[in-house]
Every structure is written in C-alpha cells, then in structure tokens.
Structure 1
Amino acid sequence: MTTTEIAPAPAAAPARAAHLYQLDLYRVITFALVILMHVLGATTFPQDVVSDALETPLHLTREAFFALTTFVLVFSYRSRPPRPMAFWRRRVPLVAVPYVVWSVLYWGYSLLTAEQPVGSVAAALRALGIEIANGTAWYHLYFLLVTLQVYLLFPVLMKLVRTLERRPWLVLGISGAVQIAVTCFLSYPPEGVEYSTVSRFFTTLLPYQFYSVLGAVAAVHFEAVQAWVRRHRWFVAGGLVVTLAVAETGYFVSVHNGLWPELASDAFRPYLVPWCVAAIAGLFLVGTRWAEAGRRGGRVVSWAVDRSFAIFLTHPLALALLRPLIAFVGDGVGAPWTTVVVYPATVALTLVIVEVLRRLPWSKALTGRPPLELKRAAATAAA
C-alpha cells in the first residue's frame, strides 16, 4: 500500500484517519497562488486588462480551500462522526482566536497608517466590532469567518453522510444548481438591488457551498475518486485547458462588452465555475502524482504545510510593509517587473514574520499552532 492509498475500514473505527500526503502539495500550491493573486493586485492597476486576465483564473484558490477544508473534516470523521460540542470546542478556537487577534492587529495597523484623521476612540472601536462581525478588518480575513461557518455547520453535514454515500450525483446536482443561481445573482444582480446588499453574501458560506459539498462527496468516496483521477489524468489535464479557455473567453468578452476589467475578473462570475472544479481536480492529481513518485522535497513541503495558516494570516502584512519597494520598482522599471520582484520579496518577508511568531509564547493565538521549540527549530533549519 502506498502513502496515498487507504486500507479498507476495519470493523472498529480507527483512532485516526491516515495522512494523505497529496493534500500537502495541494495546500502549498494553493497558498503560493493566493500570495501571487494578492501581489498582482498590489503591483498592477485595477483597469489593467492583462493583469486582470491573469487574476481571473487565480480566484480558484478560495474555492480550492473550501473544498479542501470540508474534505479534510469529512475524511477525518467519516467513520466516527464527532459529538458537536466536543468538535466545536476543539476546532473553533483554533480559527476564532487568531481571527479576532489578527482583526485587531490589522485594524490597529490601518489606524496607524491612515492618511485621514482617525476620529474618536468610540467610533474606531465600533468600526472594529463591525469589521470582526463582517470579516472585513483586512481583505483576506473573510476566509476565516467563512471557515468558522463551515465548522459550525459541520455536525449537520455529517448527518447527511449516508445521503452523500447513496446519492452523490443528486446532492452535487442540487448544490451545483444553487451555486449557479447564487453566482448569477452576485454577478448580475436584479435591477434595484444595491451593491451593499450583494456584498453581504461575500463573507457567508453561500457563494462557496458547492465547493464544500464537492469536498465532502470526494471525502466520502475518496477511494473511488482517487482511482478515477489516476485513470483519467489526461482527461483532467484536458479539462484544465478547456475550462481555462472558457474562463478567459468569458473575461475578454465581458471586457469587450464594456464591463470594467476588475469586475470582469471577479471571483463570482459564472464562467469561472467549470474552471474552479477542473482546477481542484488538477491540484489533487498533481498532489497524487507527487506522492506516488516519492514526495521529492517532502521535508520542505511538510515545513510549509506546518506554517501554511500563519503564512495566510501574515502575508498581507508583509505585502503592506513592502509598499516602498513596490513604489520604487514600479517607478523604475514598471510592469511586469514589479510583480516579478515583489512576489519573492513578499514570500521571504512572510516567512521571516512567521518564524518569529512561531517562537513566541503566544504563538497559538497568532498562528493557530503551538510555539516551536528551539531544538526543533534548529533541527528544521539544519534539514
């Protein structure tokens, strides 16, 4: 049995689900694309047609993460459904505490760097409360708020596992129809519906529910899904090419018809749905092939996975601190060299910040992980 295969479930539920190494590479690639997405946005203009064309397919990252999150949860508990209170006590604080802490930190950073007067303390605190409730303290924190919603609804999802086992295509069909309807509503809201109304949906699970259901179905039928991906790897690769062409065609047609490039590349465009599904399958295929080929660079990947949550939390801060570099390179050589220079600089500074945070006594509140022991950190650096 290879590291990517799961043995048939014994009569007694296992104490712990087997580790799926292919998901490690899936996670690392997706986080790398998240940083690239945000660097592109920071180093190019919103009306840049070419830059927005590159950003269009990169929106797959949020859908890929929600599929991964639900997959991991369902796979871990598919043979031993958790008790809701025990599950919430264990899982929710690992996300909720860093979410609140970083909401406060980014709120404080925005106050310190604001060009306009801050106003009263009471007004600033009210703004903080609203931002925590809405997931808007910084542009990436909505992800944690939606993750908390996944955790809160997970016990309900586990009650549907039998349905997922017996009627997976029916469940996916219903969920997919809802996804298309929601996506069309967000992209083309009815006349009279204000953007402030539409934007409230962005930090809820509703625009991502299909990808969470997709992850749950894949976890319940993991062995069959992995076997299919192995047998049809060229079909998956072809699907990536075709759906990417569809996504980019939809983008350029929208721009040609007068839609602002930044809006045409929005994450909630219907022409992105097939691409996101194909990209999720493609990421899983790449991870599977890597795991079966011996996991070259496995220590580096494992190291990155251990820090992935902290990297997600801190990379926007690193990017904000690099604004002088962005301005300097942008004024000197312009695009696309600004992105080429700033991307590795953002990754490097993020890793430095993460390494510092992981060694602090309150690392768990900042990164969701306990602090690194000095001896373990030295061994990791040597390796």
Structure 2
Amino acid sequence: MTTAQATLEAPSRIARPGGKAPYLHQIDLFRLVTFACVILIHVVGATNFAQDVGANAVETPLHFTREAFFALTGFVLVFQNRGREITPSDFWRKRLPLVATPYLAWSMFFWAFSLVTGTQQPDSLEASMRLLLKDLVTGGAWYHLYFLLVTMQVYLLFPWIMKLLRATEGKHKWLLLGSGVLQAGVTLFMTYQPFGVGYETITHLYATVLPYQFYTLFGAVVAMHFEAVHAWVGRHRLLLGGALVAVLAGTEWYYLRTVHSGTFPQVASDPFQPYLIPWFLAVIAAIYAFSTWWSGRRREGSGGARLVSWAANRSFSIFLVHPLALAFLGPLIPHVAERFGAPWLSVIIYFATIALTIVMVEVLRRLPGSQALTGRPRLRLAKA
C-alpha cells in the first residue's frame, strides 16, 4: 500500500491529550448532513399537504435522520468511553445537564409560545399547568423535543450498555441480531396496532428509547470495532454507494405501491414503517462512507474544513432553534406559494429557514443563558 493510500484509508483523527479518544472529523460531516436533512424534512412537511404523494415520497427517505442521530449517539458515547471504566453517577452528572437543561428551557418556551399563538388553548390556569407537565413528561411541547427526551434515556442506560457490550465481547453480531429482531417487532406493533391498543399509546412510544434501541446499539457496536469497520468501509465505498441507490429505489417503489393500494400517503411514509429499516441502515453506512472519503482529503485550515467545523459546532443549536424559525416564516408560506408554486416554495422556505436559524443561533450564542438555549457555551462579543 502506498503512503497516499494509507493516508486515505486511515481514520481521520487527531491525538488528544489526557488519554481522550481521538477526534474524528468525519463525524462532523456526518452530523452536518443529517441536520441539513432534518431541516429539509420539516420544511417539506410544512409547505405541502399531508395527502401530497410526491411530498411524502421526498419525506420517506428523509426519515432516516432520527435513526442516524441515535446511531451517532451510541457511536460517540462508546468511542469516547470504550477504554475507560464508567461510573454511572459521574457520567450522568457530566452528560445529562447538557441535554436536560435545553430540554427544560425549550419545552417551557414552546409551551408558552403555543399559548400566546393560540396553538394550545387550555380552559384554565390549572389546565395550562397540566399541559406543561404532560409536555415535560412526553416531549410534546414541540415536534422535535422528543429527540432530547430519548437522548436522556440513552444517557441513563449507557453505563449498562457498556457493561452489556463488554459482557458479550466476541458475540456482538448475535447481540445485534437479537436487537434487530426486537426492532422489527416494535415497528410492526407501532404500524399495525393490535386490537384494543389506542393510537395515543403508540404516539407515546415515539418518545421512548424502544423504537431506537437497535440503531443506538448498532452505533455502539461499530464504535467497539471502529478500526475494523472503518477499514472495511474504506475498501467498499462503491459497494455502499450502489447499495444506497438500489435500496432507495426499492424503498420508493414500496412506498408508491402502498399508496396505490389505498394507504394514505402520510401513513405509507410513516418513519416507523418496517420496510424502512434496510434503507436506514444503507443510508447511515453510505453517509459515513462519504464522510470518511471527505475527511481523507480534508486540508486543515481550508475553507471547506472551517465551514464543516463551524457548522458542526452549531449543529445542536440549529436543531433546537430551527422549528421556531420555521414557525416565524409560516405566515409567508401562502404568499410564496402563490408567487412561485411547488416545488420552489419548499426550496425557498428551506434556505430561508437555514438563514434565519443561523442568525437566531448567533444571537443566542452571545446572550447570557446560551448553554440553556443553544446547548453550547456563550460566545464572547467581538471587541471594537
């Protein structure tokens, strides 16, 4: 193998002091691509009707974002801690506030926002407080906050996940197989509810770790075998790219077939449809393969490297803020639709949402309480 090949196939990472895990630049790009798709799916949903077959065809593959996030969460946690002993109390003290504080802050904000805008109209102060309590327990204050609630559940379980991985060393493929069977069963249960199971029960499952356990464990197992998996991905990028195209075609075919069989488009594209599991795995692997290809050619200090690093640093903040930016743009949607029509409506609102979100994040990052509002430390104001 030549020096250039060795550099290309080696993990893109920087040794860090104090025995910490090396920094993986490909994870920055993976996170950036996934967050960009999160905003896109929310914009497509906000600018199209629920019965629009084409819009739901676009949304169907974009549902991978939640699974990719939890695969990334499992990967990062294990990669950072696979060589050390985990003390649950220490781990929770360090990790939980990073998510719990923004969760509480934004849940209360969106609860108040929904009251002011009339989205929620409780009959009394007591009913309003009951609604807040329900939102805090279920992650229902706004449509993206369930992710933070599930992330906290992953953090609570993580010390035992590490114990499970170490106890099953050498048998991780069987661990993933069992988790995959459970995942298929959970998605079948959520899609084809047994008689007597109410829809509200299913909606509450969305905010638990159960529908995401396989992807979290998948990322965790990959982290335990990082060097071997990374090398395999480097040798099989074309294979993963071909699999991505083939599985995407099969996914869209099945979606359209389901719709033509009489299923409502929004139901046929539901993120917990069992037929989406192969697509989720294919796209997660393909994005990582592309990210490693990029990181192998990354030049420190280049414009692209700085942009990805800057965006990755703000990715969690952008996730927290973008639904508010989209809500602010909501009154403009009918006017833009009348002027430009589809699909330009979605394109214009998408870039407008990104631009407004970045402006809001940059302002919030410089205010007191930035840690609670953006999940990141406060930035210093530039001196004149």
TM above 0.5? yes
- Quick one: distance in 2 between partners of 1:98 and 1:255? 39
Answer yes or no: is the 8 Å Cα contact 1:98–1:366 preserved in 2. Answer: yes
Q: Does 1:307 align with 2:311?
A: no
SS of corresponding position for 2:169: helix
Structure 2 counterpart of 1:354, one-letter code: V
Q: Deviations over 1:319-355 (max 9, x none)?
A: 0000122111112232111101100000000001100
Summarize the Cα distance change of 1:115–1:312 in structure 2 as closer, same or farther, 3 Å threshold.
closer
Q: Deviations over 1:105-142 (max 9, x none)?
A: 11111111116754312211110110110000000000
Summarize the Cα distance change of 1:355–1:192 in structure 2 as closer, same or farther, 3 Å threshold.
same
Summarize the Cα distance change of 1:49–1:133 in structure 2 as closer, same or farther, 3 Å threshold.
same
Return the offset for 1:257: 1.3
- Quick one: distance in 1 between partners of 2:98 and 2:121? 35
- Quick one: distance in 1 between partners of 2:167 and 2:344? 51
Answer yes or no: is the 8 Å Cα contact 1:102–1:366 preserved in 2. Answer: yes
SS of corresponding position for 1:46: coil
Return the offset for 1:201: 0.8
Answer yes or no: is the 8 Å Cα contact 2:12–2:26 preserved in 1. Answer: no
Structure 1 counterpart of 2:340, one-letter code: V
Q: Deviations over 1:34-92 (max 9, x none)?
A: 00000000000000000000000000000000000110000000000321100000000
Q: Does 1:5 align with 2:11?
A: yes
Return the offset for 1:151: 0.1
Q: 2:360 aligns with which of 346, 353, 376?
A: 353
Q: Which residue of 2 aligns with 1:168?
A: 172
- Quick one: distance in 2 between partners of 1:116 and 1:21? 42
Return the offset for 1:246: 2.1
- Quick one: distance in 2 between partners of 1:163 and 1:239? 33
Answer yes or no: is the 8 Å Cα contact 2:237–2:290 preserved in 1. Answer: no
List alignment gaps of at least 5 residues for structure 1: 379-383
SS of corresponding position for 1:166: coil
Name the stretch that deviates more: 238-247 or 122-131: 238-247
TM-score (norm 2): 0.93
- Quick one: distance in 2 between partners of 1:118 and 1:300? 44
Q: 1:23 aligns with which of 21, 27, 37?
A: 27
1:23-172 equivalence runs, <5 A:
23-114=27-118, 117-172=121-176
Q: Which residue of 2 aligns with 1:334?
A: 341
Structure 2 counterpart of 1:312, one-letter code: F
- Quick one: distance in 2 between partners of 1:192 and 1:69? 34
TM-score (norm 1): 0.94
Answer yes or no: is the 8 Å Cα contact 1:81–1:158 preserved in 2. Answer: no
Q: Alpha carbon RMSD of aligned pairs, Å?
A: 1.9
Structure 2 counterpart of 1:155, one-letter code: P
- Quick one: distance in 2 between partners of 1:283 and 1:115? 37
SS of corresponding position for 2:206: helix
Among all aligned residue pairs of Structure 1 and Structure 2, give the percentage whose two residues are the same amino acid: 55
- Quick one: distance in 2 between partners of 1:290 and 1:6? 9
Answer yes or no: is the 8 Å Cα contact 1:100–1:132 preserved in 2. Answer: yes
Structure 1 counterpart of 2:44, one-letter code: L
Return the offset for 1:370: 0.9
- Quick one: distance in 1 between partners of 2:45 and 2:80? 36
Q: Deviations over 1:262-282 (max 9, x none)?
A: 010000011100000011101
Return the offset for 1:309: 0.8
Summarize the Cα distance change of 1:164–1:290 in structure 2 as closer, same or farther, 3 Å threshold.
farther
Summarize the Cα distance change of 1:284–1:165 in structure 2 as closer, same or farther, 3 Å threshold.
farther
- Quick one: distance in 2 between partners of 1:112 and 1:119? 14
What is the count of residue pairs matched by the alignment?
373
Summarize the Cα distance change of 1:323–1:19 in structure 2 as closer, same or farther, 3 Å threshold.
same
Q: Deviations over 1:129-184 (max 9, x none)?
A: 10110000000000000000000000001112224531121011000000111111
SS of corresponding position for 2:143: coil
Answer yes or no: is the 8 Å Cα contact 1:28–1:308 preserved in 2. Answer: yes
Name the stretch that deviates more: 281-290 or 243-252: 243-252
Answer yes or no: is the 8 Å Cα contact 2:12–2:296 preserved in 1. Answer: no
- Quick one: distance in 1 between partners of 2:140 and 2:169? 37
Structure 2 counterpart of 1:85, one-letter code: S
- Quick one: distance in 2 between partners of 1:16 and 1:196? 44
Return the offset for 1:374: 2.3
Q: Does 1:324 align with 2:331?
A: yes
SS of corresponding position for 1:47: coil
